[in-house]
A and B are shown apart, each in its own frame.
Chain A
């Protein structure tokens, strides 16, 4: 690419010809985190503690100490997060190729289905129907599952019941197919995980984690504003914190969208 094109892009962003859509929830202690059975280790919640706020602890400056688990807030999953990806090269957030942090996205709108059924599952036929309308999903694209789940109040968002979470996600077949037949770079959702709330009962359990990370692909979850993206043509910028041997991290996810 010519240097001129990059400057044109910068100009288009500055002029608004290319919109920048923030797909990120505010990282705060109030945001739901994944709940595992209590006998397993738990993600540390987000904590924000003042070091000083223009006071005796630091007269001219305000700053915080922040602690959180790698998988809190809007966050990124690296292949090393799952056992299927544990032996891959460059499988952690600090070693993954930086070029993978910018890629185009296909957005599949399943908001109608998810509104009907909290356990809504994305399937191969549904994706094929999407492709019939928008064209084949190109390789190294993100597939983002729009469910409008991010618009819910926190209780409905987590939707925990006695038998666990009930939130939409992909079924096992579509995950395997997207990874193997379409070569996607990753899969993103609005819900607390890339997998459905009940995915622990699937075969294999947690198929999005299983297939994505086993093939060195990535996950994004707790995204918002997917309703502001076109079905195709948006470019996702998702660069996780460079945590040593990190399995993921909260991050700022933005999408570049052509305004016309």
Chain B
């Protein structure tokens, strides 16, 4: 996104208050064409900044965008002077958006570039913990992460004495390690972290506990307590067990700890009364995720929230389509990690809620009340 003059159409960078071409004050941020050409490049061998000094040599360059502005950008190793590049804003380890230039076309092992990996959380070569392998989403996530080149996928299974559908897809598979984990149990999370906490590079929290009902159609707090136990306290248990070691290992080589992924209902943003108490528990998790993001940031570990509408699973049986396929969630996890994103909306419902909330929150509240 860059500023574009509403009067003359010129793009402006860096951000300013008036158009450099026509002095108009109407400069809105819009999606800009991403193509450019690398004008010049240099390699910083002894950077003054401590972060880059540790990672030197580091390549940067000047890119003239096809849409006008010239920007300083971090460079993919395969970018050559004079050649076309594709620009994107990436979140660096400190959470700042920085310009990054990649070759326009695909190059061999493009995603393995050292500087690119600093900006992303690519699961390739990394060890991932998927916290709940009992759910379809958990199982699809394991498969997608494996396919994306994860070195090891640890997959948590609570109550290992209890068989579950899809178990044979997890047990005895190369590169998949089934571990005992009941995230809602503090001791279980702590015990597992004692075993593998030092080698979890990406944690994908696939806790899933969906129950219908709001306040008046339920009796007592039993189900609400379960929702809070599973989703909210489970999140806290996982964060306290795995977060500190992940934060410490944020700079542990090219396959450092990199990201924490939450799968949240989009109704964390706006309460859906048909699943009202569930929405509230998800809202609590969303708030907590912002806290976790701030606490992991000093270690350079990202928190990615993935928002979905109703998923095509048993507990959303009564909800009409469109629903999100568990596989789509799994694929979005991988693409979000590869892009180093903080937020991702999967499916039409999630995207629609996001847009309607931005447009008119009160109208959305009223519309969901149906």
Question: A interface vs B, CB < 8 Å?
Answer: 29, 32, 35, 41-42, 44-45, 47-50, 153-155, 157-158, 160-161
Q: Is the beta-carbon distance between A155 and B182 smaller than 8 angstroms?
A: no
Residues on A with C-beta less than 8 A from B222 are 41
A42 and B226 contact, Cβ closer than 8 Å, known pairs A29-B182, A157-B161:
yes
CB distance from A152 to the nearest CB of B (A): 10
Q: Is the beta-carbon distance between A45 and B185 smaller than 8 angstroms?
A: yes
Residues on A with C-beta less than 8 A from B161 are 32, 153-155, 157-158, 160
Distance in angstroms between the alpha carbons of A44 and B221 in the assembled complex: 12
Question: B interface vs A, CB < 8 Å?
Answer: 159-163, 182, 184-188, 222-223, 225-226
Q: Which of B162, B182, B185, B226 contacts A160 (CB 8 A)?
A: B162
Closest to A31 in B: B161
Q: Is the beta-carbon distance between B186 and A35 smaller than 8 angstroms?
A: no
Distance in angstroms between the alpha carbons of A155 and B161 in the assembled complex: 4
Q: Is the beta-carbon distance between B187 and A161 smaller than 8 angstroms?
A: no
A155 and B186 contact, Cβ closer than 8 Å, known pairs A41-B222, A42-B226:
no
CB distance from A156 to the nearest CB of B (A): 8
A49 and B163 contact, Cβ closer than 8 Å, known pairs A41-B222, A42-B226:
no
Residues on A with C-beta less than 8 A from B163 are 155, 160-161
A47 and B160 contact, Cβ closer than 8 Å, known pairs A41-B222, A42-B226:
no
Q: Is the beta-carbon distance between B160 and A154 smaller than 8 angstroms?
A: yes
Distance in angstroms between the alpha carbons of A155 and B171 in the assembled complex: 15
Q: Is the beta-carbon distance between A32 and B159 smaller than 8 angstroms?
A: yes
Q: Is the beta-carbon distance between A48 and B162 smaller than 8 angstroms?
A: no
Closest to B222 in A: A41
Q: Is the beta-carbon distance between A158 and B162 smaller than 8 angstroms?
A: yes
Name 10 interchain pairs, CB-CB below 8 A, sorted by A.
Answer: A29-B182, A29-B185, A29-B187, A35-B162, A41-B222, A49-B186, A153-B161, A154-B161, A155-B160, A161-B163
Closest to B180 in A: A30
Distance in angstroms between the alpha carbons of A258 and B344 in the assembled complex: 69
Closest to B226 in A: A42
Distance in angstroms between the alpha carbons of A144 and B161 in the assembled complex: 25
Distance in angstroms between the alpha carbons of A247 and B286 in the assembled complex: 38
Q: Is the beta-carbon distance between A47 and B185 smaller than 8 angstroms?
A: yes
Distance in angstroms between the alpha carbons of A50 and B187 in the assembled complex: 9
Closest to A35 in B: B162
Q: Is the beta-carbon distance between A48 and B226 smaller than 8 angstroms?
A: no
Q: Is the beta-carbon distance between B186 and A47 smaller than 8 angstroms?
A: yes
Instruction: Give 14 A-B pairs besides A41-B223, A49-B186 with Cβ atoms closer than 8 angstroms.
Output: A29-B185, A32-B161, A42-B226, A44-B226, A45-B182, A45-B184, A47-B184, A47-B186, A48-B187, A154-B160, A157-B161, A158-B161, A160-B162, A160-B163
